Amino acid sequence: MVYRQSPHQLTFESFGCGLSTPLSPDNEWVQLADVFPWKELDEAYQLEFPKNSGRAAKPFRMLYGAGLIQNRMKLTDRGIVDAVRDTPAYQYFIGLSEYQAKAPFSYSSLCNFRKRIADLSELIRNIINDWLRAKIQALVPFKVDVMITDATAIPVKIRFPQDTSLLNQARKNLEEMAIDMAHQLDVPNPRMHKRDAKKVWTAFSRHPKRQHQSIRKQVKAQLQYVRRDLRFINEFIDAGATLTAKQAVRLGVIRILFDQQWYMYEHKIHHVEDRIVSLQQPYIRPIQRGKAKAKTEFGAKIDASLSEGIIDIERFGFTNFNESKDFEKTLDHYFDLHGQYPDEVLADTLYRNRDNLKTCKDLGIAICGPRLGAKPKQVDAKQRRQDTDAENRRGAIERRFAFLKGSVGLDLVNTRTAESLAVKIAQAIVLSNALTLLRVFAIPIFISTTSEGQTYRFQYKFTTGTENMVA
């Protein structure tokens, strides 16, 4: 497959003239169209196309822009195709030269596009964030060397995991595999007592208020069914039967699930390392949050930093990692971006351990917050005000997390593969930064300060270039 660049786009004044309805310059997507560095992103996307032959792929701006709209409007792949077809502003944002009353791409193109740019997701995010950071530095007449860091979980839309339901689903999958393999070998279907197993599960599932003993009894029954079906599968494999690639992957997941559930049943515990919570998405892990609303969430976890209004991902993973161990790497990342360490770091209690405090002291970085150890009987009023002010300023990253989950589609991500989830999170991050840039700099802002008896007044606003700045 080859990649060819799309033609230059018309101005928004000329776009849609055939409909006699020119676009409004105040439209959010019209303003966002000039924020992203589409040319640099297009050059990075060409790294995925080493050949110069084959059918041309869809332009990067078309599919990546559609993904940003999808995150913002919380649409499915099919829904975003219909929305782009019916909305001129969306078509302008994705780079079409004029409005067309048909879908410019199919919904399957979005899935293939996410798989293709999974390896370039970090590069694309860095290009956009550096571009936006440069715009902010050109517009803001001062610089604040403060970094805020925190971690959050990105929940994925799955059925709430229960041991009994997972084992029952595994049993049904194994029964289908066993029947297919029996047909391959032209032998009778094995006696798996499917009706009895279904009857036992139906009687259990009809009672929502279950006692601990009944749950344990049902887990034991399902484990015995799964163990018997796995024995049939092993016998068929030894006889020469084969499985499809999808069935082989599912069989491997079921084997791990059976070993984990059998271990927990024998030891009467409910915790095991790398616990499987979904057969369709085995990469998902339970993330302990300690929140009142949801103590455990199922999905990915990110460690993020916020500086100069730009939020970036410091670490991404599906394990419940300790984000305080990434503190030094986060400081080094800040140094690589700005050429110096921050003057102040705002972080919660988990980050303020002895090792991180020593690191900040050696580098001359102020890290605000209560002292370690027992609380003193008499607290200095000035120190208490400083700690309260630091905690209030640290809330900026919490508000950004709320914006990511409430307005940019990370509250409950509906995706199947780990690659698609990583791409969706990266798209939400860059879209949040772009929207923050528009929200902060879309209107003129006045700043007045006094130094050595002189009063200075600054006025700035968001523009596409620096020549229109007023200072």
What is this structure's pTM? 0.86
Q: Does the pLDDT at position 208 exceed 90?
A: no
Per residue in 254-294, pLDDT (tens digit) is 999 999 999 999 999 988 999 999 999 999 999 987 666 77
Question: Residues 414, 420, 421, 423: is their CA dihedral positive or negative?
Answer: negative
Rg of the chain taking only CA atoms, in angstroms? 28
For position 144, what pLDDT does the model report? 77
The answer to whether residue 446 scores a pLDDT higher than 60 is: no
Angle 385-395-133 (CA atoms, 0-180°, nearest 5)? 120
Residue 462: per-residue pLDDT: 47
Say what the pLDDT of residue 371 is.
Answer: 73
What is the model's pLDDT at position 210? 80
Given a cut of 60, whether residue 181 has pLDDT beyond it is yes
Predicted confidence (pLDDT) per residue in 411-431, tens digit: 999 988 999 999 999 999 999
Structure tokens, 432? 């949040």
DSSP string, 416-456: SSHHHHHHHHHHHHHHHHHHHHHHHHSS-EEEEEEETTEEE
Q: Rounded to whole angstroms, how far apart are CA atoms 80 and 108? A: 11
Read off the DSSP letter of residue 95: T
The residue among 280 and 459 whose pLDDT is bigger is 280
Average pLDDT over residues 18-45: 85
| Residue 107 pLDDT exceeds 50 | yes
pLDDT of residue 466: 39
Range list of β-strands (E), 280-384: 285-288, 296-307, 310-317, 344-346, 366-367
Dist. CA 329–CA 321, nearest whole Å: 14
H/E stretch holding 200 reads helix 194-205
The pLDDT-based confidence of 11 (bands split at 50, 70, 90) is low
Q: What's the length of the chain?
A: 471
Tens of pLDDT, residues 187-199 = 999 999 899 999 9
The predicted structure's pLDDT at residue 457: 65
- C-alpha count within 13 angstroms, C-beta hemisphere, residue 292: 0
Alpha-carbon distance of 69 to 83, in angstroms, equals 9
SS3 state of residue 23? coil
Block residue for tokens 């919380």: 74
Give residues with Cβ within 8 angstroms of 115, minimum separation 6: 417, 419, 420
- Would you call 298 exposed, middle or buried from its count of C-beta atoms within 10 A (0-12, 13-18, 19+)? buried
pLDDT-based confidence at residue 445 (cuts at 50, 70, 90): low
Query: Tell me: the pLDDT tens digits for 35-55?
Result: 999 999 999 998 888 777 677
pLDDT band with cut points at 50, 70 and 90 for residue 233: very high
- 226 — pLDDT class (breaks 50, 70, 90): very high
